[in-house]
Amino acid sequence: MIDKDDFRPITRNRRRATISNTKSETVKLRNGATAAASDPFPKTRESLTKNLQAPLNEDKRKCGLYDKMSCHKLQESMLSSASSFKNYRGILNWCVVMLVLSNARLFLENLLRYGILVDPIQVVSLFLKDPYSWPAACLVIVSNVFILVALYTERKLAMGLITEKVGLLIYIFNLTVVLCFPMVVVLKLPSITPVGGAFALGIYTILFLKLYSYKDVNRWCRERTQAKARTLSRSLSCPSTQSASSGMHLQVSYPGNLSLRDMYYFVFAPTLCYELNFPRSESIRMGFLFRRLFEMFLLTQLLVGLTQQWMVPIIRSSMKPLQEMDYSRMTERLLRLAVPNHLLWLIFFYSFFHSSMNFVAELLRFGDREFYRDWWNSETITYFWQNWNIPVHKWCLRHFYKPLMRRGAGKLLSQSAVFFASAFFHEYLVSVPLRMFRLWAFMGMMAQLPLAWLVARFLRGNYGNAAVWLSLIIGQPIAVLMYVHDYYVIHNQDDPTVTEAL
C-alpha cells in the first residue's frame, strides 16, 4: 500500500511545473507555436484557471446582488432649486383645470343670481342714440380732409413751391386740428355716445401718429436728396400695374411715393411708421384670412356677452360701497372685478393685435406681422411696455425717443417724456368720451415710472414677472371703478337711464 502523504511533494512539483508550463505556453503562443504542443497537462491548466477566476466571479456576483438590493442614490428632490427637473406640464394643466372650474362656478353663480343679461340690441345703443343719426361715423369720414391736406403739403414741398418752414407750420396746424377737432365735436355734440366717441377719437389718434410719421419720413427723403445721397426706395408699397402683372417688384423713390394710392395704403396698413419700402407678402392666403375673420366675429361676441353678463352687475353693486367709503367691501368688489376685467383684456388683446391686425395685413399683403412680442414673459415693467404693443413702441422709438436723445436729452428724461405722452393719450381717449376729466388714466400711466424702477431694482426672474401680472390684474379694475363711479355721480345717480347704462 502507498501512503497518501507520499504524493504531496509530487503534487506540489506538478503544480509548479504546471504553472511554469503555462508561462512557457504563453510565450510559445506569442511566438506562433500551437497550444497542444506546448501544454502537456491541459485539464490541470483549465482547473487552475477556474480556481483563480472563481473569487473574481464571486465578487462580481455579490456586487450585482448588492446593486439589485440597493434602492438609494445621491439625488435632489424634484421641486428643489438644486434639481435639474424642469418638466412642469402636469402642474400647468392642473392650473388650467382649476382656473376653468373656478370660473365656471363664478359664471354659474352669476346666472343664478342675475339671469341672462346679454342683449344685442343694447350694444347698438352704445354706439348710436338715434339709428338714423351716425355722428361718430360722420366724424371718421371727415378725417379724410386732414389726410388730403398732408398729401397736398408734401407735394408742394417736393416741388419746391413752399419752404420747409411754411410746410412745418401747415403740419403743426393740421396735426393740432386732428386732435382738437374731434374732441370739441364729442364734447359739444350730445348725440355722440361715450363708446362712439371713444371709437372716433381712437381713429383720430391713430391718424395723428401716422401723419406725423409721414411728415418725418418725407422730410428725411428731401434732406437726403438735397445732400445728393442715394434715394430711398421701397418694394411695392404702391405697386404699379406693370409691376403687378409681371410679378416684378418695382422700386419707387421719392417723390414718386406722393400719390393717393400710396397714402391710403399707409393709412389702412397695420402700422404707425411710414416707409418707402414696405415688405409685401406674395399672395393673399384665403384660409388664413377667413380664420382671422371668424376669430374677430366670435371674440367680439364673447367680449360683449361677458361685459353685459359679468362686469356690469359687479360695477353696479360697487357704487354703494364707493359712496359709503366702505373699504372692506370696496376691496371685495375690486377683487371680484379683477378676474372678468383681466379676462376681457386678454380677449381684447388677442382679438385686436392678432386677429384684426393680421386680417388687415393679409388683406393688404403687408409683410411685417410683428404686432407684439412675448410680453407675458416680462420680468420688468419696461419690458412689458416695449413688447405688448409693437406698432406704438416702434413709433415712440423712431419719432420721439431717439430724436430726444440726439438733441442731448438724457435717457431718463427721454423715457419720462415717452410715458408722459402715453399718459396724455390714455387720458384723452377716456376722459373726452366720458365728458369728464379726473386724470385717473394719466396718473396710472405716470405711476408706471416708479413702479418700473422698483420692480427692476428689487425683483428679478419669476418675482418680477409676478409683479408685472399683478399690476395688470389689479391696476386696471381700479381705474375702471374710479371712472365708472365718477361718471355715475356726475350724471345724477338718481337718473334711471344712467343706472340702466351702468
Sign of CA dihedral 210, 213, 217, 223: positive
426 is catalytic: yes
Q: Across residues 123-131, what is the average pLDDT?
A: 66
The more confident residue out of 438 and 67 is 438
Q: Which three cell numbers stand for residue 445?
A: 400711466
The alpha carbon of residue 437 and the mean position of all alpha carbons in its chain are separated, in whole angstroms, by: 31
Residue 126 confidence (pLDDT): 66
Buried-exposed string 234-247: b where 16+ CB fall within 10 A, e elsewhere: bbbbbbeeebeeee
Rounded to a whole number of angstroms, the distance between the first and last alpha carbons of the chain is 127
Residue 243 confidence (pLDDT): 40
Distance, in Å, from the CA atom of 432 to the CA atom of 186, rounded to the nearest integer, reads 7
Q: Across residues 14-34, what is the average pLDDT?
A: 43
User: How many residues are there in the chain?
Assistant: 502
Residue 131 confidence (pLDDT): 61
> Is 74 a residue whose pLDDT tops 50?
yes
Answer whether 423's CB lies under 8 Å from 240's CB.
no
Residue 181 confidence (pLDDT): 94
The more confident residue out of 449 and 128 is 449
Alpha helices in 325-389 (DSSP H): 327-349, 357-364, 381-387
Residues pairing with 280 in the sheet = 366
Residue 52 confidence (pLDDT): 58
- Degrees, nearest 5: CA angle 325-327-333: 100
Interval 477-501: pLDDT, tens:
888 888 887 887 777 555 554 444 4
Interval 190-207: pLDDT, tens:
888 888 899 999 999 999
Q: Which three cell numbers stand for residue 104?
A: 365656471
Residue 286 confidence (pLDDT): 92
Of these residues, 399, 426, 485, 491, which one is catalytic? Answer: 426
Residue 114 confidence (pLDDT): 79
Average pLDDT, the chain: 80
> Is 247 a residue whose pLDDT tops 50?
no
Interval 396-405: pLDDT, tens:
999 999 999 9
Interval 284-339: pLDDT, tens:
999 999 999 999 999 988 888 888 888 888 888 887 887 777 788 888 888 888 88
* Phi, psi torsion values for 233, nearest 5 degrees: -140, 165
> Is 246 a residue whose pLDDT tops 50?
no
Q: What is the largest CA-CA distance in the chain?
A: 144
Residue 117 confidence (pLDDT): 77
- Contacts of 108 by beta carbon, 8 Å cutoff, 6+ apart: none
Answer whether 215's CB lies under 8 Å from 171's CB.
yes
> Is 13 a residue whose pLDDT tops 50?
no
Q: Across residues 56-74, what is the average pLDDT?
A: 68
- % the chain with pLDDT above 70: 77
